[in-house]
Amino acid sequence: MSSSVTGFSRRKLLLGTAAVGVAATTTAMVFGRGPLAAGHVQGSNPLKIPPLDLGKIENNTRVYDLDIQHGKTEFFGGLQTPTMGINGSYLGPVLRMRENEDIRINVTNSINEDATLHWHGFNLPAIADGGPHQVIRPGATWSPQFKVVEKASTMWYHSHLMGKTAEHVWAGLAGMIIVDDEQSQTLDLPNTYGVDDLPIALQDRRFLQDGTMPYAPSMHDNMMGMTGDTPMVNGTIGAYFETTTSLVRLRLLNASNGTIYSMGFSDGRFFKKIATDGGLLAAPVDVQLISMGPGERAEIIVDLSDGKNVTLTHFVRLSQSEVSPEFSFLELRPSPNSTMSKPISNTLATLPALMAETAQNTRRFDLDMRGMMGMGMGGGFTINGEQMDMKVINHTIKKDSVEIWEIRNLSRMAHPFHIHNTQFRILDRDGRPPEPHEDGLKDTVLVLPGRSARILISFKHYTDEKVPYMYHCHILEHEDAGMMGQFTVV
Ligand SMILES: [Cu+2]
């Protein structure tokens, strides 16, 4: 593909995933001349906004019907790319639901192979989780039910089939979920879907000349995570969006297989981060660049009242103070007739104080890669020296217990560590308290090489003696290669 096809210039990745991971989260980074000189990049395709799916109410339950299907998607003019999607050819609808609602999701598998759908970020019964043990056979329908106990947040769903998560997500089996709650709806925040409140699923893909994007990872891809040279938002390459309000809320989701994004704007402008993975922060935090591993979400508010076009961009760090634009994801074009938004609320949510002393137990999780030189498919990635075994329950946890999990990265690349069935808080990173912009509810924590993070975690509401939940690296190639373990809550 030539760059003229997309309207965005594309360059080779300057740094591998590990090196990109070094671009740690920071709130006061100085942009070098590079990105400023580069300016904003013009998009050529209107941003695709996934349909909003509110389900339907049946017997006080909100019911969604999802269909996993094969499809063909036109990413480039005139070329049909074989893909997979949910209720469509690529990705899925945005499901919207409220705290305390009972929901049921009827998931029909219309592809010719097994699949699952995992509800990433939710505290829910193990049998409803949609992990590797809840396989949906071709032609079958799976109907998990659960009560939404989460606060207002941006969650997501994706296939989580043992050994095939990476391939399925690459093909398109993922979608976003928006949770609302009563308190959040009284806040002054942009909240009109598709107008000033936008779902932004960030991905990168690698295309062949014929327009196909086969999942064919090399040895290097299996080690570093499968990455692409073509960025897309909601399946839109070279996306632009015409804004009509001075403030816009972007619900960022890193839905890539293996790329750690450092997200900011082409002119280096500051923006406000208002939410982490599992909900709103206590207060908005001003940031210039945020680091997001695969699986992580961040809600941000960008101020466009200066009327200037600006591009949502993934940067790579060149030095302590210099970054270079790597992927131009989305051009925002303020309409000259834009309306002034209300200033956003200064207080967003009430988060409980972190009390490490309430923990009854500490567990350690050592992330490592061994024998990298001779590593073939499926080898090399371990947690506490072990690889995922569907028949082994690695940890049994008491319901309602509070624990500290210490995640240590002994390897030479960054790993986003995700835990099912819970929203946790970061206690500290290498002994230092988390920065304000990540001091909120999390289900995935990015741990850089040689670093560690301690999290405070509890397991509420549900028990199941037999059916486990997963914890794993969310670089999907690592997960599929065994960097995953299982726990039950009893
Ligand atoms: Cu990993």
Residues 29 and 81 in one domain: no
Q: Which residues have a beta carbon within 5 Å of ligand 1, which is an ion?
A: 415, 473, 475, 478
Measured in angstroms, how far is the CA atom of residue 370 from the centroid of ligand 1? 13
Between the CA of 128 and the centroid of ligand 1 the distance, in Å, is 25
Q: What's the 229 CA to ligand 1 centre distance in angstroms?
A: 20
Contact between 265 and 73 (Cβ < 8 Å): no
CA 186 to chain centre: 26
Q: Which among 157, 180, 203 is the end of a domain? A: 180
pLDDT band at 39 (very low <50, low <70, confident <90, very high): low
Ligand 1 centre distance from Cα of residue 216 (Å): 18
Residue 115: inside a domain: yes
- The whole-number pLDDT of residue 372 equals 52
Q: How far is the CA of 375 from the centre of ligand 1 (A)?
A: 15
144 three-state secondary structure:
coil
Tell me the two tokens of residue 317.
Answer: 């760090």
Q: Do both 442 and 321 map to the same domain?
A: no
Q: Are residues 415 and 451 in the same domain?
A: yes
Do the beta carbons of residue 50 and residue 234 sit within 8 Å? yes
Ligand 1 geometric centre to CA of 412 (Å): 10
467 CA to centre of ligand 1 in angstroms: 24
Q: How far is the CA of 280 from the centre of ligand 1 (A)?
A: 26
Same domain, 193 and 319: yes
For the residues 428-454, what does the mean pLDDT come to? 97
Instruction: Please determine, for residue 12, whether its predicted confidence score (pLDDT) is greater than 50.
Output: no
Domain assignment present for residue 387? The answer is yes
Q: Which residues pair with 395 in a beta bridge?
A: 487
| DSSP state letters, 109-172 | E-SSS-B--EEET----GGGS-STTS-B-TT-EE--EEE----SEEEEEE---TTTHHHHHHHT
Q: Is residue 116 part of a domain?
A: yes
The reported pLDDT for the residue numbered 423 is 96
* Residue at 2 is within a domain: no
Going from the Cα of 409 to the center of ligand 1, the distance in angstroms, rounded, reads 9
| Judgement on whether residues 214 and 317 belong to the same structural domain of the protein | yes
Among 29-38, 42-51, 403-412, the minimum mean pLDDT is found in 29-38
Do 199 and 164 fall within a single domain? no
C-alpha of residue 416 to centroid of ligand 1, in Å: 6
**Residue 371 confidence (pLDDT):** 58
Say yes or no: 386 and 440 in one domain: yes
197 plus 120 within the same structural domain: no
* Residue after which a domain boundary falls, among 163, 180, 197: 180
The domain total for the chain is 3
What domain range is 94 assigned to? Answer: 52-180
- The answer to whether residues 38 and 134 belong to one domain is no
Two structure tokens written together for 424? 């946790």
Q: Is residue 348 in a domain? A: no
**Which sign does the torsion angle of CA 389, 390, 396, 398 carry?**
positive
Residue with tokens 């992990």: 131
Tens-digit pLDDT profile for residues 351-398? 988 888 899 999 999 999 875 544 444 458 999 999 999 999 999 999
Ligand 1 centroid distance, CA of 475 (Å)? 5
Q: How far does residue 214's CA lie from ligand 1's centre (Å)?
A: 22
Domain assignment present for residue 347? The answer is no
CA 381 to ligand 1 center in whole angstroms: 8
Q: Average pLDDT, stretch 210-237?
A: 94
- For residue 137, being part of any structural domain is answered with yes
- Quote the ligand 1 centre to 482 CA distance (angstroms): 10
43 lies in the same domain as 56: no
What's the residue count for the chain?
490
Rounded to the nearest angstrom, the distance between the alpha carbon of 259 and the centre of ligand 1 is: 11
Task: State residue 318's pLDDT score.
Answer: 86
Which of 306, 339, 372 represents a domain boundary (last residue)? Answer: 339
Ligand 1: centre distance to CA 252 (Å): 21
CATH number at residue 212: 2.60.40.420
Give the model's confidence band at 46: pLDDT under 50 very low, under 70 low, under 90 confident, else very high: very high
- Compute, in angstroms, the gap from residue 208 CA to the centroid of ligand 1: 26
Note the pLDDT of residue 30: 34
The answer to whether residue 4 is domain-embedded is no
pTM to 2 decimal places: 0.91
CA distance 108 to 87: 10
201 and 285 in a common domain:
yes
Using the mean position of ligand 1's atoms as its centre, give its distance from the Cα of residue 418 in Å: 10
Asked if residue 57 and residue 43 are part of one domain, the reply reads no
